[in-house]
Amino acid sequence: MTGSLAIVGLGPGEARYLTPAAQAALDAASDLVGYGPYLDRIPARAGQTKHASDNRVEIDRARHALELAAAGKSVAVVSGGDPGVFAMAAAVFEALEAGEPGWRKLAITVEPGITAMLAAAAAAGAPLGGDFCAISLSDNLKPWEVVTARLEAVLRADFVVSLYNPISKARPWQLGKALELALSIRAPETPVIFARAIGRADEALRILSLAEALEAAGTADMATLVMIGASGTRLIARQGRAPLVYTPRSVTKSPCATSQGRT
Contacts with ligand SAH by CB under 6 A lie at 12-13, 79-82, 85-87, 115-116, 120, 164-166, 195-200, 222-225
| Residue 81 Cβ vs ligand SAH, minimum distance, rounded to whole Å | 2
- Nearest to ligand SAH of 73, 196 (CB atom): 196
Q: Which residues pair with 195 in a beta bridge?
A: 205, 225
| Residue 27 Cβ vs ligand SAH, minimum distance, rounded to whole Å | 21
- Nearest to ligand SAH of 38, 159 (CB atom): 38
Q: What is the C-alpha to C-alpha distance for residues 44 and 59, in angstroms, rounded to an integer?
A: 24
| Residue 224 Cβ vs ligand SAH, minimum distance, rounded to whole Å | 6
Strands (E), 146-215: 160-164, 191-196, 204-209
| Residue 84 Cβ vs ligand SAH, minimum distance, rounded to whole Å | 8
- Nearest to ligand SAH of 156, 200 (CB atom): 200
- Nearest to ligand SAH of 70, 161 (CB atom): 161
Question: Which secondary-structure segment (H or E) carries 52?
Answer: strand 49-53
Q: What is the C-alpha to C-alpha distance for residues 242 and 260, in angstroms, rounded to an integer?
A: 32
Q: What is the C-alpha to C-alpha distance for residues 202 and 196, in angstroms, rounded to an integer?
A: 8
DSSP 202-250: T-EEEEEEHHHHHHTGGG--TTEEEEE--TT-EEEEETTEEEEEE--S-
The residue with its CB nearest to ligand SAH is 81
- Nearest to ligand SAH of 159, 164 (CB atom): 164
| Residue 123 Cβ vs ligand SAH, minimum distance, rounded to whole Å | 9
- Nearest to ligand SAH of 30, 148 (CB atom): 148
Pairing assessment for the beta strands 31-35 and 74-79 based on DSSP bridges: parallel
Q: What is the C-alpha to C-alpha distance for residues 263 and 248, in angstroms, rounded to an integer?
A: 24
| Residue 165 Cβ vs ligand SAH, minimum distance, rounded to whole Å | 4
Grouping H, G, I as helix, E, B as strand and the rest as coil, residue 25 is helix
Q: What is the C-alpha to C-alpha distance for residues 262 and 187, in angstroms, rounded to an integer?
A: 8
Q: Decide if 229 contacts 245 (C-beta within 8 A).
A: yes
Q: Decide if 195 contacts 182 (C-beta within 8 A).
A: no
- Nearest to ligand SAH of 3, 11 (CB atom): 11
| Residue 141 Cβ vs ligand SAH, minimum distance, rounded to whole Å | 11
